[in-house]
């Protein structure tokens, strides 16, 4: 791999320019030059980590494109996402910022996640178990207003019937299972990636800037 590439996947290089364009790092460097030496060092570290983070987003997009091709899914939009879109905070909390950003930016990642979701089979016993263990989520509006305790023998009319919420629960569990499958797929797929210096995963302990936060 030459100094012009941020990473390679199965021998296919990803240009550093993709990462630079994604982040708009020229503007970030300009802002850093105006800081004090201490602030400048902190900003330099932050920018290095941003570069590693952006590399992961772009690598995830490329890995998802490979996976879609292998699955025979229609080719996604070929335009590489370069602008940071609004990412729901709940997605960041549930998925981590890298995967949340990848799903926001990458049509291929979204197509792969949707295909994984279609593959998930949720047993009826799992749906029923979720309903029985989370009765507080199925209180009727009137029961909520009255402060009914869902676990203290509530009246049948205070809980939405199982038949009415079954479909929604199954969808929720299928969606969660697909996300887990996506995590597992990405963990395996990353084994095919070789990173250039300065573009490692932000949490990789082999570089001095590494950090791993939840």
Helix (H) or strand (E) holding 193: strand 193-195
The rounded distance, in Å, linking the Cα atoms of 57 and 87 is 13
- What's the pLDDT score for residue 95? 67
The rounded distance, in Å, linking the Cα atoms of 161 and 131 is 10
Q: Is the pLDDT of residue 27 over 70?
A: no
Q: What pLDDT digit, counting tens, does each position of 65-79 carry?
A: 999 999 999 877 655
CA-atom Rg of the chain in angstroms: 22
The rounded distance, in Å, linking the Cα atoms of 212 and 190 is 17
Q: What pLDDT digit, counting tens, does each position of 83-112 carry?
A: 545 565 666 666 677 888 888 888 999 999
Q: What is the mean pLDDT of the chain?
A: 81
Q: What pLDDT digit, counting tens, does each position of 171-204 carry?
A: 999 999 999 999 999 999 999 899 888 787 766 5
Among candidates 61, 69, 35, 7, which has minimal Cα distance to 201? 7
Among candidates 204, 212, 195, which has minimal Cα distance to 19? 195
Stated pTM of the model: 0.77
């Amino acid at each position: 791999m030459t100094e012009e590439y941020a990473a390679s996947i199965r021998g296919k290089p990803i240009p550093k320019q993709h990462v630079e364009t994604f982040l708009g790092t020229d503007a970030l460097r300009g802002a850093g030059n105006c800081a004090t030496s201490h602030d400048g060092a902190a900003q330099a570290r932050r920018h290095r980590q941003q570069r590693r983070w952006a590399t992961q987003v772009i690598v995830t997009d490329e890995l998802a494109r490979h996976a879609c091709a292998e699955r025979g899914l229609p080719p996604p939009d070929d335009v590489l996402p370069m602008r940071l879109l609004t990412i729901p905070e709940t997605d960041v909390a549930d998925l981590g910022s890298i995967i949340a950003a990848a799903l926001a930016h990458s049509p291929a990642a979204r197509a792969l996640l949707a295909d994984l979701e279609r593959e998930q089979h949720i047993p009826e016993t799992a749906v029923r178990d979720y309903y029985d263990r989370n009765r507080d989520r199925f209180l009727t509006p009137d029961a909520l207003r009255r402060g009914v305790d869902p676990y203290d023998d509530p009246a049948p009319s205070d809980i939405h019937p199982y038949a009415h919420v079954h479909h929604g629960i199954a969808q929720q569990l299928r969606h969660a299972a697909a996300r887990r499958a996506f995590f597992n797929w990405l963990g395996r797929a990353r084994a095919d990636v070789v990173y250039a210096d300065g573009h490692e995963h932000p949490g990789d302990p082999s570089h001095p800037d590494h950090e791993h936060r939840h």
